[in-house]
Amino acid sequence: MTNALLVIDVQNDFCPGGALAVEDGDAIVPGINALMGDFDAVILTQDWHPAGHSSFASSHDGGAPFGTVEMPYGTQVLWPDHCVQGSNGAAFHGDLSTDRADMIVRKGYNTAIDSYSAFFENDHETPTGLHGYLQTRGIGELTMVGLATDFCVSFSAIDAAKLGYAVTVRSDLCRAIDLDGSLNAALQGMQDAGVGIA
């Protein structure tokens, strides 16, 4: 069974000084780089929103960052504008070893729907294409690291487990937003789905 390292959204806007900074988000970069050589494949994900994305608070009259709005696919957290296509904020952290990546998966580029998971948009139906790629490579084991534990990492891990992958999340190489207890809820959800937390 081939194993892959999935590095989730280690981008400038999620690191200190960014538009949606995760505390100590940059501290995980050296550890992630050191881990890359242990895997048969390395895949990076990248939040890649068009300007005016529907998940941005600025796209909704009276919308406030970290508030919520009902969308056709369910409740959506409203975020500060972040990871806008082609911006410095959307770029990978400058110290991340991107040359080792076999593939980069860009997500969230559909204006009408957000995409936390590396596998599906937030309707839980529209695929990103990552599952098909992993299948053709014969990859069955995934280790996940990156930002943020309680959103894109947990959504990706749970989807991967549902798709039949053996999934481990390296919590030491992740950081969380922890919005109103979202970290504990995410950890519980991952464990309930059969994800290993290391």
Q: In what order do the strands lie in the sheet with 166-175?
A: 103-107, 41-47, 2-8, 139-147, 166-175, 196-197
Q: Which of 9, 26, 47, 159 is catalytic?
A: 9
Among 15, 83, 152, 174, the one annotated catalytic: 152
Would residue 152 show up in a list of annotated catalytic residues for this protein? yes
Cα 141 from Cα 69, distance rounded (Å) = 35
DSSP 8-state code for residue 26: G
β-pairing, 103-107 vs 41-47, is: parallel
Residue 156's identity, in one-letter code, is S
Exactly one of 15, 81, 83, 107 is catalytic; which is it?
107
The contacts of residue 20 (CB under 8 Å, 6+ apart) are 13, 14, 79, 80, 82, 83, 177
DSSP state of 94: T
83: nearest Cα among 73, 93, 97: 93
First to last CA, the chain: 20
Q: What's the CA angle centered on 184, arms 188 and 144, to 5 degrees? A: 70
Looking at the annotation, which residues are catalytic? Answer: 9, 107, 152
